[in-house]
Amino acid sequence: MKFFVDTAETADIADLSAMGLIDGVTTNPSLIAKSGRDFKTVIAEICKLVDGPVSAEVAAMDYATMIKEGRVLAKIAPNVAVKVPLTIDGLKVCRALRADGIMVNVTLCFSANQALLAAKAGASFISPFIGRLDDIHLDGMELIREIRTIYDNYGFETEILAASIRTANHIRECALAGADVATAPAGILKGLSQHPLTDKGLQQFAADWAKTGQSIL
Ligand code: E4P
C-alpha cells in the first residue's frame, strides 16, 4: 500500500520524505489557500521533494478552461498528477489528458458508479472521500470495498486513492479493504508509529539497560 501525504506544507513533506514514509502528495484548493502561498510555486517545490505523483487540482469547472489549466499544471514537472472533479466535464478532461500521457486523479468521488465512470475515462487515480461520507452518517469504508470489487471484476488499472482520511483506523481499514493508496495529513501518518505498549516497553528496556552499567559504543 502506498502512502501519500495530504498537505501543501513543504516542511511536513520534507520531514516525511526523509523518513522514507511517503510515495506521493495530494493537495487541493483548500490546502493551497491554507498555505497562503503561490499555487504553482508550491507544486514545483513539492515535485522536487518527492519522486512520486503530486496531485495539483484545476480550479475551473468547464471543459475548455479545465483542460488549459491541466496542461499548465502538467508542465510544472513530470510527476504532476492533474486533479479533476468527478463531473462530466472533468471526465472528458481526464480522457484528453490521459491520451497525452498525463497522470490524472479524479477527485470528489462519493459513489461506486462515479468510480466506475472514472476508470472508464482512464483515470490514473480515483479519490473516494471516506471522512466526508462518514460526516453525513454514510459508510465511507464500504465505498472503498465496493470500488475494489468493481475494479477487480473488470481488471481496471485505476488506483484507488483513499482520501479524506481522518483517523489511523481509517488507514488500517483501507489496507484491509485493498485500497492502493491512502492519502492522509502528516499527523495521522506519523501517528501510525505510536502505541502505548511500545513506549512502556522502551522505558522498561532503558531502565534495565541502565542496571547493566554497560555501553555499546
Ligand atoms: C484528497 O485528495 C483530499 O485533498 C483530501 O483527502 C480531502 O480531505 P478532507 O475531507 O479532510 O478535506
Q: What pLDDT was estimated at residue 77? A: 98
pLDDT of residue 83: 98
- Asked whether the beta carbons of 104 and 134 are under 8 A apart, the reply is no
Give the right CATH number for 2-212 from 3.40.718.10, 3.40.50.280, 3.20.20.70, 3.40.50.40.
Answer: 3.20.20.70
The set of cell numbers assigned to 11 is: 516542511
Cα 63 to middle of ligand 1, angstroms: 23
DSSP-derived secondary structure letter, 107: E
What confidence score (pLDDT) does residue 78 get? 98
Residue of 83, 120, 200, 211 with catalytic role? 83
- pLDDT tens over the chain, length 217 residues: 999 999 999 999 999 998 888 999 999 999 999 999 999 999 999 999 999 999 999 999 999 999 999 999 999 999 999 999 999 999 999 999 999 999 999 999 999 999 999 999 999 999 999 999 999 999 999 999 999 999 999 999 999 999 999 999 999 999 999 999 999 999 999 999 999 999 999 999 999 999 999 999 9
Distances (CA, A) of 138 to 65, 96, 127, 130, 166: 33, 33, 17, 9, 15
Mutate to test the pocket of ligand 1, among 82, 103, 129 (most ligand atoms within 8 A of CB): 129
| d(C-alpha 117, C-alpha 126), whole Å | 10
The secondary structure of residue 77, as a DSSP letter, is -
Shortest-distance Cα residue to atom 9 of ligand 1: 164
Query: Ligand 1: distance of its center to the CA of 121 in Å?
Result: 22
CA of residue 213 to ligand 1 center, whole Å: 50
Residue 65 CA to ligand 1 center (angstroms) comes to 23
Between vectors from CA 127 to CA 7 and to CA 194, what angle results, nearest 5°? Answer: 50
Q: Is 123 left (phi over 0), alpha (psi -120 to 50) or beta?
A: beta
Q: Is 103 exposed, middle or buried (0-12, 13-18, 19+ CB in 10 A)?
A: buried
- Give the cell for residue 46: 513539492
Non-local (6+) Cβ contacts of 105 within 8 A are 26, 53, 55, 81, 82, 83, 84, 123, 124, 125, 126, 127, 161
Q: What is the pTM assigned to this prediction?
A: 0.96
The answer to whether the beta carbons of residues 105 and 125 sit under 8 Å apart is: yes
Q: What spatial distance separates the first Cα and last Cα of the chain, rounded to whole Å?
A: 37
Residue 48 catalytic?
Answer: no
Rounded to the nearest 5 degrees, what angle is found at the Cα of 50, between the Cα atoms of 26 and 9?
Answer: 50
Q: pLDDT value at position 19?
A: 86
CA atoms within 13 A on the CB side of 136: 5
* Distance, CA of 198 to CA of 190 (rounded, Å): 15
What atom in ligand 1 is closest to the CA of residue 163? 6
